[in-house]
């Protein structure tokens, strides 16, 4: 089969489309014929060798965590899924013709493979951090960097739970945030004052890691009401850095339910063929993805 692989850590040009041995489903896993793979910032962080502590890998390695496709092998102990089922989920080396998933759910009716591949990691992250920040229905959540993959999921899950959101994004994404039910304002010079004018904030999430933790603590009045997924300076401000994934299986079930109820939609910003994985990484690294970028197999 073909897969995207890299033999050394480095820039996007280390990614090569190569012939590789097909993987097989171990106990509790399924193998899918991949139709699309989601591109997450963590993918290029792994490729650069930035986060070996959290994602230790031996080179050469495949790449990619999220995917959607058709089950063609089920490992020992797998129940409730059969060959031919369309699923989306999380596994390893998903930028490939075949990949093994360790967590999956059936794709909701009407969802394309391309769309489905964009959900797993962002929904797991969004559910985890909304719970960790402790925001309740009727309260107001501030989301810094709200238009990306995780932000798109946070805004819609919050709306579903009756949590009001103030979101920051670039000038071109203000209407996008409003369309997801948030009150929108721009990041950059004077942003905290603009947020203050919009009302009080009960809790805050930093999704961009743009050096705003001091202001988020001031706006909420309590470092325990702030969670970041992208700023390693969190301890300096007494803020929680959330980096350990929760249950992907539960998140996928929740995503499938939200999608089926018409409460969650993560748009695909752009699709790339398997051979153009490097371009997908370059575009993701630029930091202005609306929704998710996806590799189509």
Ligand X SMILES: NC(=O)c1ccc[n+]([C@@H]2O[C@H](COP(=O)([O-])OP(=O)(O)OC[C@H]3O[C@@H](n4cnc5c(N)ncnc54)[C@H](OP(=O)(O)O)[C@@H]3O)[C@@H](O)[C@H]2O)c1
Contact set with ligand X (CB under 6 A) = 40-42, 122, 125, 144-145, 147-151, 168-170, 173, 187, 207-210, 229-230, 242-243, 284, 287-289
Question: 32 vs 122, which CB is nearer to ligand X?
Answer: 122
Q: How far is CA 222 from CA 154, 184, 237, in A?
A: 21, 23, 10
Least distance to ligand X, CB of residue 172, Å:
7
Question: 23 vs 120, which CB is nearer to ligand X?
Answer: 120
Sign of CA dihedral 66, 71, 74, 77: positive
Look at residue 250 and give its three-state secondary structure: helix
Least distance to ligand X, CB of residue 182, Å:
12
Question: 140 vs 284, which CB is nearer to ligand X?
Answer: 284
What angle in degrees, to the nearest 10, is found between the helix axes of 248-260 and 149-161?
Answer: 70
Running DSSP on this structure, what letter comes out for residue 234? G
Question: 107 vs 251, which CB is nearer to ligand X?
Answer: 251
Question: 52 vs 83, which CB is nearer to ligand X?
Answer: 52
Question: 147 vs 220, which CB is nearer to ligand X?
Answer: 147
Q: Which residue is nearest to ligand X (CB)?
A: 148
Q: What are the residues whose beta carbons fall under 8 Å from the beta carbon of 217, sequence distance 6 or more?
A: 223, 226, 237, 238, 239
Extract the tokens encoding 174: 């203000």
Phi, psi of 245 (to 5 degrees): -65, 145
Least distance to ligand X, CB of residue 290, Å:
6
Running DSSP on this structure, what letter comes out for residue 96? B
Least distance to ligand X, CB of residue 154, Å:
9
Q: What are the residues whose beta carbons fall under 8 Å from the beta carbon of 22, sequence distance 6 or more?
A: 1, 98
Report strand pairing: 86-92 vs 66-74.
Answer: antiparallel
Question: 41 vs 91, which CB is nearer to ligand X?
Answer: 41
116/85 Cα distance (integer angstroms): 14
Least distance to ligand X, CB of residue 280, Å:
11
Question: 113 vs 119, which CB is nearer to ligand X?
Answer: 119
Least distance to ligand X, CB of residue 170, Å:
3
263/261 Cα distance (integer angstroms): 5
Report strand pairing: 240-241 vs 226-228.
Answer: parallel
Least distance to ligand X, CB of residue 66, Å:
11
Is residue 143 within 8 A of residue 182, CB to CB? The reply is yes
121/149 Cα distance (integer angstroms): 9
Least distance to ligand X, CB of residue 216, Å:
11
């Amino acid at each position: 089969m073909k897969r995207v692989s890299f033999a050394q850590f480095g820039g996007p040009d280390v990614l090569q489309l190569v012939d590789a041995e097909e993987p097989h489903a171990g106990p509790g896993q399924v193998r899918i014929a991949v139709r699309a793979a989601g591109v997450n910032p963590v993918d290029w962080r792994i490729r650069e060798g930035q986060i070996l502590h959290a994602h230790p890998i031996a080179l050469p390695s495949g790449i990619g965590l999220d995917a959607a496709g058709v089950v063609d092998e089920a490992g020992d102990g797998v129940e409730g899924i059969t060959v031919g089922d369309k699923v989306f989920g999380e596994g390893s080396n998903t930028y490939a013709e075949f990949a093994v998933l360790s967590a999956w759910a059936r794709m909701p009716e009407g969802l394309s493979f391309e769309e489905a591949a964009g959900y797993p990691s962002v929904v797991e992250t969004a559910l985890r951090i909304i719970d960790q920040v402790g925001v309740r229905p009727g309260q107001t959540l501030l989301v810094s960097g709200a238009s990306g993959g995780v932000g798109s999921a946070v805004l819609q899950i919050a709306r579903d739970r009756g949590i009001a959101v103030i979101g920051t994004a670039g000038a071109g994404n203000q209407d996008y945030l409003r369309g997801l039910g948030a009150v929108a304002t721009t990041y950059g010079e004077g942003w905290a004052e603009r947020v203050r004018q919009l009302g009080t904030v009960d809790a805050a999430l930093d999704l961009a890691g743009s050096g705003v933790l001091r202001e988020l603590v001031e706006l909420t009045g309590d470092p325990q009401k702030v969670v970041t997924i992208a700023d390693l300076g969190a301890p300096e401000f007494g803020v929680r850095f959330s980096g350990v994934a929760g249950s992907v299986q539960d998140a996928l079930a929740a995503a499938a339910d939200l999608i089926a109820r018409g409460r969650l939609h993560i748009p695909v910003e752009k699709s790339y063929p398997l051979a153009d994985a490097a371009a997908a990484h370059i575009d993701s690294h630029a930091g202005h993805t609306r929704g998710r970028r996806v590799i189509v197999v």
